[in-house]
Chains A and B, each alone.
Chain A
Amino acid sequence: MRRDVFQAIADPTRRAILMLIASQALTPNALATHFDSSRQAVSKHIKILTECELVKQEQTGREIYYHLNPKKMKEVADWIEPFRQMWESRFSKLDKLLFSMQSKQKPKK
């Protein structure tokens, strides 16, 4: 199986896990109470998220806490940016064209 962030966030349960731990770090038990699926199923998702470096596990006292890795999450947000910029540069050319079309049609007020 591919282990990258996009594979990781393609699954709705894993997205829900990320949303939950984004607001606060959670123990495995606390996390499991949010899902109908078995603890094993949830921990399997956590394993994938950890392998993709989206989730970090930290030991505090006797408990393990799952934390979100914001740096890795930023990569997810950034991946669309070049595509958006390509369209933005296209559209800013279109803006100029529309402006000249309008000024030809009628003088601007």
Chain B
Amino acid sequence: MTTNNQTSIHAEPGKQEFFIEREFDAPRELVFEAFNDPALLVQWIGPDNLSMEIETFDNRSGGSYRFLHFDANGNQYAFNGVIHEITKPERMIRTFEFEGLPERGHVSLETATFIPLEGGRSKLHIHSVFKSVADRDGMIQSGMEGGMNDGFAKLDKLLQKRTA
């Protein structure tokens, strides 16, 4: 199966937000399901080099989630947030925090909107708002999980050298 659907990212310089847009050759009900059914979510959201575990997924308005990623060396990376709103099949609003940062409190607010298109297709729109421009830029520059791993691997090596 091939698709011409392209992911577009808008991140204006100096702003605390970014937007992700992507179309799918499937109705929004299915895309929504793939985001909200844990058995489906694990099949696509994790990076290739990490295994994923859903620790908590109390997926309802007022609920919460905590996802874990493990690399080949057994290092663990955790993400958590609370679910502000789930409105099937059109919208989910939740917070996001990466637990691996040096200090807590760098939380972002994510809104995902599932928009129906003609011909059984749909469009996903994600809006993420951060506490600061630095937080947003950090998230983009890290390439999120993948980049963070590389970063930690380098840091590990550096620390090993220092302590050797």
A contact set with B: CB distance below 8 Å? 6, 9-12, 15, 76, 79-80, 82-99, 101-102
In Å, the complex CA distance between A92 and B147 comes to: 19
**7 nearest interchain CB pairs?**
A10-B14, A98-B26, A93-B44, A9-B13, A82-B143, A94-B44, A88-B7
For the complex formed, measure the closest distance between the CB of B124 and the CB atoms of chain A, giving whole angstroms: 8
Contact B140 A80 (CB under 8 A): yes
Contact B140 A94 (CB under 8 A): no
Contact B13 A91 (CB under 8 A): no
For the complex formed, measure the closest distance between the CB of B38 and the CB atoms of chain A, giving whole angstroms: 13
Contact partner, B44, options A6, A9, A82, A90, Cβ 8 Å: A90
B158 within 8 A of A: no
B133: chain A residues within 8 A (beta carbon): 10
> B126's closest neighbor in chain A, by CB?
A87
A97: chain B residues within 8 A (beta carbon): 34, 40, 43-44
B31 within 8 A of A: yes
For chain B, residues 91 to 127, give those with C-beta under 8 angstroms from any C-beta of chain A: none
For chain B, residues 1 to 46, give those with C-beta under 8 angstroms from any C-beta of chain A: 1, 3, 5-9, 11, 13-14, 20, 22, 24-26, 30-31, 33-34, 40, 43-45
For the complex formed, measure the closest distance between the CB of B125 and the CB atoms of chain A, giving whole angstroms: 13
The number of chain B residues touching the other chain, given as a range, is 35 or more
Contact B13 A95 (CB under 8 A): no
Contact partner, A91, options B7, B137, B144, Cβ 8 Å: B7
Contact B14 A99 (CB under 8 A): no
**Interchain Cβ contacts under 8 Å between A and B, 25 examples:** A6-B13, A9-B14, A10-B13, A12-B14, A76-B13, A79-B140, A80-B9, A80-B140, A82-B143, A83-B139, A86-B147, A87-B20, A87-B22, A88-B7, A89-B48, A90-B44, A90-B47, A91-B7, A92-B3, A94-B31, A97-B43, A98-B24, A98-B30, A101-B33, A101-B40
In Å, the complex CA distance between A34 and B3 comes to: 45
In Å, the complex CA distance between A11 and B145 comes to: 29
B160 within 8 A of A: no
For the complex formed, measure the closest distance between the CB of B162 and the CB atoms of chain A, giving whole angstroms: 25
For the complex formed, measure the closest distance between the CB of B20 and the CB atoms of chain A, giving whole angstroms: 6
B146 within 8 A of A: yes
Q: A6-B137, A84-B9 given as contacts; is B144 within 8 A of A93 (CB)?
A: no
Contact B26 A83 (CB under 8 A): no
B163 within 8 A of A: no
Contact B141 A79 (CB under 8 A): yes
